[in-house]
Amino acid sequence: MKQVEDAEIIAKFSEEKTRDEAFNLLLTKYQQKIYWHIRRLVIDHDDADDLVQDTFIKVWKNLAKFRSDSQLYTWIYRIATNECITFLNKKKQRNNTSLDEVSEELAQTLVESTYFNGDKVQLKLQQAILTLPEKQRLIFNMKYFDDLKYEDIAEITGTSVGALKASFHIAVKKIEAFMLNDDVTF
Amino acid sequence: MENNLENIPKNNPFSVPEGYFNESRSRVANAIFLDKLKSRVTSDGFTIPDAYFSELGGEISAAIATENLKVLGSTTEYTVPKGYFEQLQSNIVARTSAKREASVLKLWHSSLMKYASAACFVILSTTGFYFYQQHAPSLKTAYNDMATEQMLYDIDEDVIIDHIRDNNLQQVNATATDVALENYILSNYSQNEIASDL
Rounded-to-integer distance, Cα A171 and Cα B40, Å? 18
Rounded-to-integer distance, Cα A183 and Cα A180, Å? 5
* CA–CA min distance A98, chain B (Å): 25
Rounded-to-integer distance, Cα A63 and Cα A56, Å? 10
Using alpha carbons, select from B193, B96, B60, B185 the residue that is nearest to residue A56.
B60
Angle, in degrees to the nearest 10, between helices B178-188 and B157-166: 80
CA distances from B78 to B25, B73, B74, B75 (A): 70, 9, 9, 8
* Nearest CB neighbour to B37, from listed A27, A162, A186: A186
* CA–CA min distance B73, chain A (Å): 17
Task: Give 10-residue mean pLDDT values along chain B (198 residues).
Answer: 72 78 83 88 87 88 81 62 79 74 62 76 82 64 67 74 69 62 78 70
**ipTM of this predicted complex?**
0.73
Interface size, chain A vs chain B, as Cβ–Cβ contacts under 8 Å: 88
Using alpha carbons, select from A172, A110, A93 the residue that is nearest to residue B31.
A172
SS (H, E, C) chain B: CCCCHHHCCCCCCCCCCCCHHHHHHHHHHHHHHHHHHHHHCCCCCECCCCCHHHHHHHHHHHHHHHHHHHHHHHHHCCCCCCCHHHHHHHHHHHHHHHHHCCCCCCCCCCHHHHHHHHHHHHHHHHHHHHHHHHHHHHHHHHHHHHHHHHHHHHCCHHHHHHHHHHCCCCCCCCCCCHHHHHHHHHHHCCHHHHHHHC
Over residues A37-41, the mean pLDDT reads 94
Over residues A102-112, the mean pLDDT reads 84
Please give the pLDDT value at position B81: 77
Identity of the amino acid at A55: T
Most confident of A109-118, A144-153, B135-144, B173-182: A144-153
Residues across chain A: 186
* CA–CA min distance B72, chain A (Å): 14
Please give the pLDDT value at position A61: 93
At residue B46, φ and ψ (nearest 5 deg) are -75, 145
- Residues of chain A in contact with residue B60, where contact means CB-CB under 8 angstroms, are 27, 31, 52-53, 56-57
**Contact between chains at A27 and B46 (C-beta distance less than 8 A):** no
Please give the pLDDT value at position A54: 95
- pLDDT at A136 exceeding the cut of 60: yes
- Residues of chain A in contact with residue B23, where contact means CB-CB under 8 angstroms, are 169
Using only the alpha carbons of chain A, give its radius of gyration. 18
Identity of the amino acid at A141: N
What is the residue-averaged pLDDT of chain B? 75
DSSP 8-state class, residue A63: G
Q: Which residues contact A102 (CB under 8 A, 6 or more apart)?
A: A88, A91, A92, A95
Where does the pLDDT of residue A120 fall: very low under 50, low under 70, confident under 90, or very high at 90 and above? confident
Where does the pLDDT of residue A45 fall: very low under 50, low under 70, confident under 90, or very high at 90 and above? very high
Q: What's the whole-model pTM score? A: 0.62
Please give the pLDDT value at position A147: 92
**Contact between chains at A56 and B64 (C-beta distance less than 8 A):** yes
